[in-house]
């Protein structure tokens, strides 16, 4: 399975307004498709300048009219934030609008403060996520939500629309946990994590071992015949020199980090301070910053060591200019992709995975 490249976007508020940012993101996504990126994934946040698009489905609906080949989706939809029946119908509608190009990322949410705004207790978020996931996927599979509620209410009603993809759009999950990787692989769910100083290699071993063990199971949550995607996510900045790349990334990441921490600090919670600083991101290898050649070499090294078949790159964030982001995106496809795909083939042969 050939290495794929995708885009990750959080819509963090830059120096301009929300309308300008969203227009630029639509332009950037169209350019990403033209260059050859396979997927454009958007995240979900509420009550924080970390996102000026708190309803990712709205952006996907707009982008569905402007693209024709790139897969579009969420990484992730915060399931406890949704009324399940309405979410099932929205997912089906989006899959119709994209003509079967929708990816459906799922998760429970990572910010207790965002969940609290929406009336969700943090200690119930995980159970509510699991119950919602079961209710929604069963409804999309059968066309009817018939659910005996625990945290949710009871349902017995037919959906007004079904998805193009059967039984439903591809499922995605993001985490750094090996245990979660085993769950995802065992269920055929596409999985994205971080490099974390090479710890991704152990997560990858867990993922592919679980996939091999359960690939013949008939009751997998994501029963698609193809091999799942196992990927690394992180920011990438390409510039004419290492110093310039570090300067551009430092400014953009500082703004991004401030947006990310804003709601936590408003609640006097400093548990994640420093986790997403430029120093921490670069020290762990979770961001790849430099010239075209150095970025290529680092991506090749990470791909060959980890056995990933997908890269989910954060290329436009903070106050990064549109033109600078496009330059990085073009460099990835034209200069990095050939060598990275060759590295992925070498890793696949070593791990006994399929090679295109």
Query: How many independent structural domains does the chain possess?
Result: 1
Structure tokens at 35: 């260059």
**How many whole angstroms separate alpha carbon 354 and alpha carbon 356?**
7
268-283 residue pLDDT tens: 999 999 999 999 999 9
pLDDT at 355 over 90: no
Please report the pLDDT score of residue 230 as a whole number.
96
The 10 Å Cβ neighbour count of residue 326 is: 17
The 10 Å Cβ neighbour count of residue 220 is: 17
Task: Look at residue 356 and tell me if it is in a domain.
Answer: no
Please report the pLDDT score of residue 224 as a whole number.
75
Structure tokens at 354: 């399929």
185-202 residue pLDDT tens: 999 999 999 999 999 999
Task: Look at residue 312 and tell me if it is in a domain.
Answer: yes
313-326 residue pLDDT tens: 999 999 999 999 99
Average pLDDT along the chain: 95
Compute the half-sphere exposure of residue 233: CA atoms within 13 Å on the CB side of its CA. Answer: 24
1-22 residue pLDDT tens: 789 999 999 999 887 889 999 9
Contact 191, 173 (CB under 8 A): yes
**How many whole angstroms separate alpha carbon 164 and alpha carbon 142?**
13
CATH of the domain at 276: 3.20.20.30
Q: How many helices (H) and strands (E) in the chain?
A: 12, 11
**How many whole angstroms separate alpha carbon 210 and alpha carbon 311?**
21
Longest dimension (CA), the chain: 60
Q: What is the CA radius of gyration of the chain?
A: 20
Task: Look at residue 266 and tell me if it is in a domain.
Answer: yes
Averaged pLDDT, 261-266: 96
Nearest Cα to 37, choosing from 25, 28, 45, 24? 28
Task: Tell me the C-alpha to C-alpha distance, in Å, between residue 123 and each of 120, 126, 183, 269.
Answer: 9, 7, 21, 17
Please report the pLDDT score of residue 356 as a whole number.
67
The 10 Å Cβ neighbour count of residue 138 is: 18
Averaged pLDDT, 203-232: 90
Scanning the structure block, which residue is given the tokens 């499922």? 171
| Bond from prior residue into 167 cis (ω within 30 degrees of 0) | yes
**How many whole angstroms separate alpha carbon 329 and alpha carbon 310?**
15
Please report the pLDDT score of residue 215 as a whole number.
87
Comparison of pLDDT for 233 and 224, the residue scoring more: 233
Tell me which DSSP letter residue 66 carries: T
Task: Look at residue 286 and tell me if it is in a domain.
Answer: yes
Confidence class for position 177, pLDDT limits 50, 70, 90: confident
Contact 314, 235 (CB under 8 A): yes
Query: Which domain range does residue 164 map to?
Result: 4-351
């Amino acid at each position: 399975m050939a290495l794929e490249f995708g885009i990750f976007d959080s819509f963090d508020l830059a120096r301009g307004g929300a309308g300008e940012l969203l227009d630029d993101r639509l332009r950037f996504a169209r350019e990403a498709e033209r260059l050859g990126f396979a997927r454009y994934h958007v995240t979900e946040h509420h009550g924080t300048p970390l996102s000026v698009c708190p309803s990712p489905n709205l952006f996907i609906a707009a982008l569905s009219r402007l693209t024709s080949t790139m897969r579009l989706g969420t990484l992730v939809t915060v399931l406890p934030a949704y009324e399940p029946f309405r979410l099932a119908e929205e997912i089906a509608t989006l899959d119709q609008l994209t003509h079967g190009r929708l990816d459906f990322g799922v998760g429970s949410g990572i910010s207790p403060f965002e969940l609290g705004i929406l009336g969700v207790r943090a200690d119930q978020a995980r159970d509510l996520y699991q119950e919602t996931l079961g209710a929604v996927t069963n409804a999309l599979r059968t066309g009817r939500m018939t659910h005996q509620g625990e945290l949710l209410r009871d349902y017995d009603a037919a959906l007004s629309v079904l998805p193009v993809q059967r039984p439903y759009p591809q499922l995605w999950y993001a985490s750094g946990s090996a245990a979660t990787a085993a769950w995802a692989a065992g269920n055929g769910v596409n999985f994205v994590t971080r490099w974390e100083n090479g710890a991704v290699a152990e997560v990858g071993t867990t993922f592919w071992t679980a996939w091999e063990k359960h690939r013949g199971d008939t009751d997998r949550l994501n029963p698609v015949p193809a091999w799942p995607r196992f990927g690394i996510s992180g920011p990438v900045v390409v510039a004419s020199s290492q110093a310039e790349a570090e300067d551009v990334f430092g400014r953009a990441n500082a703004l991004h980090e401030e947006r990310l921490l804003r709601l936590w600090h408003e609640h006097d919670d400093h548990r994640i301070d420093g986790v997403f600083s430029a120093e921490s991101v670069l020290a762990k290898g979770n961001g790849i910053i430099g010239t075209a050649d150095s970025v290529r070499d680092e991506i090749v090294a990470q791909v060959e060591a980890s056995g990933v078949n997908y890269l989910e790159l954060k290329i436009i964030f903070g106050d990064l200019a549109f033109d600078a982001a496009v330059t990085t995106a073009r460099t990835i496809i034209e200069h990095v992709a050939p060598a990275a795909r060759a590295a992925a083939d070498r890793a696949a042969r070593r791990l006994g995975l399929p090679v295109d």
